[in-house]
Amino acid sequence: MEKVISGIRPTGNLHLGNYFGAVKSFIRMQDEYQCMFFIADWHSLTTHPTPENLRRSVKTILSEYLACGIDPAKAPIYVQSDVKPVLELYLYLNMNAYLGELERVTSFKEKARTQPDNVNAGLLTYPTLMAADVLAHKADKVPVGKDQEQNMEMMRLFARRFNRIYGVDFFKEPESFHFNKEAVKVPGLDGSGKMGKSEGNAIYLCDDEATIRKKVMRAVTDSGPSQLNQEKPEPIRNLFSLLRLVSAEDTYAYFDDAYNNMTIRYGDLKKQLAQDINAFCAPIRERIADFSSNDAYLDKVAAEGAEIASASAEKTLAEVRAIIGFGK
């Protein structure tokens, strides 16, 4: 079975965009591939979190992924910093990663431009750490969005370069796994194209019913259709896209008909949407609360994941050391 590995950034809570755009595909993938998921806490140090924030965000993201349905019995989930052989590989890969090529990475250039006071070496070598995370397990596929494509190319370059320098056929070149094709883009509630944390328009899986209602009722609309069967402008289309994700088909059809024959009342549409989003989120929300109050279970999941991932990475590193020329 092909190996798939995915890093999860411990940044804030999961929202509906994350769920329908990524996590839902992860849940399906764990039945079809040999998956591993890790929480990229080393990567997150580029932004210098406080120890409390780091601990809290790792725990939060672990609870939320488990609540969504990642099953550690099918797919180990581990914390990156628990798997030390990856650091060793990061060092080896850095010896053959060149300043020029690292500086040319678009996400590095973007960060260097937006945070000129914090252009640290961790940021520069983000692609080598990402490559070490994946190559340490000799994974076949990495689910990534378009923004990570360049990092994937760097990873393949580092793998090829290692093989060439040492005259071996050791690392395979991991492929990008574009589940984004099947994933839906989840729009924001402010009439904008995309739901996102930084856009401030997100509904989080942990939001309570009153918060969901408040956010949905505030969503941008217009003065209503002025012609029969007219095309929906963006803010309205967005509400229908959300409805499509969380509501029953006949509910969608009911409001679609109402829009087309100009009898729609946006207040009713929003009330229904809020209710259906809440019905979707409620069981996940309850599981998030259960998991996040169960430190013993979270520790157990992370420890079991770390054991599996460490064994896998250590096996690779034992061979890498021998190839490089360490030991007898």
Question: Given its phi and psi angles, is residue 262 left (phi above 0), alpha (psi -120 to 50 degrees) or beta?
Answer: left
Among 89, 132, 186, 245, binds ligand AMP (CB under 6 A): 186
Q: Which of residues 19-38 bind ligand AMP (CB under 6 A)?
A: 20-22
Q: Is 9 in the site for ligand AMP (CB under 6 A)?
A: yes
Amino acid at 163: N
Known catalytic membership, residue 197: yes
Q: What is the DSSP string of 81-149?
A: GG-THHHHHHHHHHHT--HHHHHT-HHHHHHHHH-GGG--HHHHTHHHHHHHHHHTTT-SEEE--GGGH
Known catalytic membership, residue 194: yes
Distances (CA, A) of 295 to 45, 263, 291: 23, 51, 8
Q: Which residues contact 128 (CB under 8 A, 6 or more apart)?
A: 90, 93, 94, 97, 102, 154, 158
Q: Which residue has the tokens 């378009």?
A: 146
Known catalytic membership, residue 111: yes
DSSP 8-state class, residue 80: G
β-partners of residue 36 are 5
Catalytic residue, candidates 3, 24, 59, 111: 111
Q: Is 200 in the site for ligand AMP (CB under 6 A)?
A: no
Q: How many residues bind ligand AMP (CB under 6 A)?
A: 14
Q: Is 194 in the site for ligand AMP (CB under 6 A)?
A: yes
Residue with smaller CB distance to ligand AMP, 30 or 316? 30
Q: Which of residues 96-155 bind ligand AMP (CB under 6 A)?
A: 145
Q: Is 49 in the site for ligand AMP (CB under 6 A)?
A: no
Among 17, 72, 235, 305, binds ligand AMP (CB under 6 A): 17
Task: Answer for the pair 97, 158: CB distance below 8 angstroms, yes or no.
Answer: yes
Q: Is 233 in the site for ligand AMP (CB under 6 A)?
A: no
Closest distance to ligand AMP from the beta carbon of 146 (Å): 9
Residues with a catalytic annotation lie at 111, 194, 197
